Amino acid sequence: MQSSQQRCTPLSPEDLQQRYACAQELAMQAARRALEPYRQRDSLVVSHKGDQLQDLVSIVDQDTEAYIKQRLAERFPQDGFLGEETGGATLDAQCIWVVDPIDGTSCFVNGLHSWCVSIGLMVDGEPWLGAVADAVHDELFHACNGQGAWLNQQRLSVHTAPDIAHGVMGVGTSHRRGKQHFIPFIAQLLEEGGTFIRNGSGALMVAYVAAGRLIGYYETHINSWDCLAGLVLVKEAGGVSNDFLRNHGLTEGNPLLVANPQVYAQVASMLGNALDA
């Protein structure tokens, strides 16, 4: 929890439900708006962030975040905002929207299907609700604290695998800190009979854990806009996660592990201090 978080009068159930409905509608609207440029991606202008050649940004990322940010400001002007492209504003607000306009930009610009729009909301420093919209497959993953996790209108629950040998583990890494833990983990995962997949979108992989498609997901370092919505999805689907928000995780990111309870315990023991990297 952020020490500077303002303590305000608790929001009413109606206030929270309005935000939940807005997140669902806006995430899917934004994802569907991105479909046309995705289909015409040969004309996209794509650039690199800093000196990382694999860290891409397109005009669609920027336009989509501007669209989401404007709509949220119109509906909830008192709320804070943290987005991948435009950064943070009013981060001491009671409610903070955490947005990745296109998670999986490399997939998006290369014609792969693993990309989505992720919108999460923190209330009083805690992940409260989230929506992850995959317009390519017409799938909206959504959850709100105490209301369960859903794929469109279908209730979700995490995989029942008793250990890593009974399902597929999602993994992710990048050139950011923590990458030195990736190969040792993969080697141990394979040694203990597990298998893995990496699809290029952390937000979707976390949503797949909530949906029971993956038994868990580990990423050596991920940003909050990639996983804030997913943290709510996993919790509401019966899964567990590490303390992602510790040590300025909201603004600086952290390692992430989400899984069903049995797999989480097994993988966490395998990782040791990697979750503290």
**Complete DSSP assignment for 157-182:** -----SSGGGSEEEEE--SSTTGGGH
In a 10 Å sphere around its CB, with 0-12 CB exposed, 13-18 middle and 19+ buried, how is residue 103 labelled? Answer: buried
Distances (CA, A) of 244 to 127, 166, 186: 10, 26, 21
Contact 205, 217 (CB under 8 A): yes
Contact 199, 205 (CB under 8 A): yes
What is the distance in angstroms between the CA of the first residue and the CA of the last residue of the chain? 19
Instruction: State yes or no: 84 annotated in a binding site.
Output: yes
Instruction: State yes or no: 163 annotated in a binding site.
Output: no
Instruction: State yes or no: 243 annotated in a binding site.
Output: no
Report d(CA 242, CA 204) in Å as an integer: 18
In a 10 Å sphere around its CB, with 0-12 CB exposed, 13-18 middle and 19+ buried, how is residue 46 labelled? Answer: middle
Contact 151, 211 (CB under 8 A): yes
Query: Strands 139-144 and 149-151, how do they pair?
Result: antiparallel
Report d(CA 199, CA 138) in Å as an integer: 18
Annotated binding site: 84, 100, 102-103, 226
Residue ranges of the binding site for Mg(2+): 84, 100, 102-103, 226
